[in-house]
Amino acid sequence: MLQSVTSYFLGLFQQIAKLDTDLIVFAVLIVCSIVVLDSVRIFARKKRTETGIEAKIPTVSIDGSKTSAVRHYVSKRQGLAGRPDALIVEDGFLIPVERKPLANKIRDRYVAQLLVYMRLVEEFEGKRPPYGYLILGANCRKFKIDNSEKRQAWLQKMIDEMQGILHGAAAVPTPHPRKCRRCDVRDACAHRVDRDTVRIGQASGDEG
């Protein structure tokens, strides 16, 4: 048995020795490439898991609330569409929940997104949610966002501006002063802001 196995490998080595050297090098490169790609894939998966990119949306209830099936809402009347990460029931209200696993603070766009969900829930479920939840970061910090008239008016203003741009209105840049000062193309931008947060393009009469 051992002799036959030895003979098999000897014959295999003899066949390999007869192969063209370039072919052997090519085969080795292919094997090495597969090993490297597999290592990169494993490393990338590990990083996504550590940063929370692959973190699943929690299905557990918030503070004992009941969960509800998530729906994808499409409103032709409002021109809005969206799918909350979760829906829960609190005090008889259907509350949308938005999860941002990589966020470390509340941003306007997160609030606007949640306000849109509250509008859609009101239209399709027939009852206005008094608030929604933002869940931020890997440690799942919870923030309650009130569905106030003031916030909805703020959202409506943004929607009206976007609709106007879609219908031909000129877009008006509103750069953030702190971000503007660190922008790589600031010196060539007519809409940059100075230290007093006055738009230089406006002050000089420039347009565009």
The helix/strand/coil state of 66 is strand
Structure tokens at 114: 């949640």
pLDDT score at 88: 95
- pLDDT for position 121: 97
pLDDT, tens digit (0-9, with 9 covering 90-100), for 52-61: 444 444 443 5
E strands, 101-177, are: 131-136, 141-146
Report the DSSP beta bridge partners of residue 68: 87
Residue range(s) occupied by CATH 3.90.320.10 in the chain: 66-166
* Beta-carbon contacts of residue 202 (< 8 Å; ≥ 6 apart): none
Q: CB pairs under 8 A, 24+ apart, for 174-177? A: 175/199
pLDDT in tens, 141-166: 999 999 999 999 999 999 998 888 88
For position 98, what pLDDT does the model report?
96
Q: Taking the mean position of all CA atoms in its chain, how far away is CA 180? A: 23
- Is residue 86 classed exposed, middle or buried when 0-12, 13-18 and 19+ CB atoms within 10 A define those classes? buried
Cβ neighbors of 119 (< 8 A, separation 6 or more) are 75, 78, 80, 152, 155
Beta carbons within 8 Å of 138's beta carbon, 6+ residues apart: 51, 52, 55, 101
pLDDT, residue 53, reads 40
Q: How far is CA 78 from CA 49, 72, 119, 166, 171, in A?
A: 37, 15, 9, 15, 21
CATH topology assigned to domain 66-166:
Lambda Exonuclease; Chain A (3.90.320)
Write down the pLDDT at residue 17. Answer: 56
**Residue-level pLDDT at 186:** 80
Low-confidence ranges of the chain (pLDDT < 70): 1-64, 195-208
pLDDT for position 30: 52
d(CA 145, CA 111): 7
Please tell me the predicted confidence (pLDDT) of residue 40. Answer: 53
What's the CA gap between 118 and 193, in Å, rounded? 34
pLDDT, residue 54, reads 41
Decide the pairing of beta strands 73-75 and 66-68. Answer: unpaired
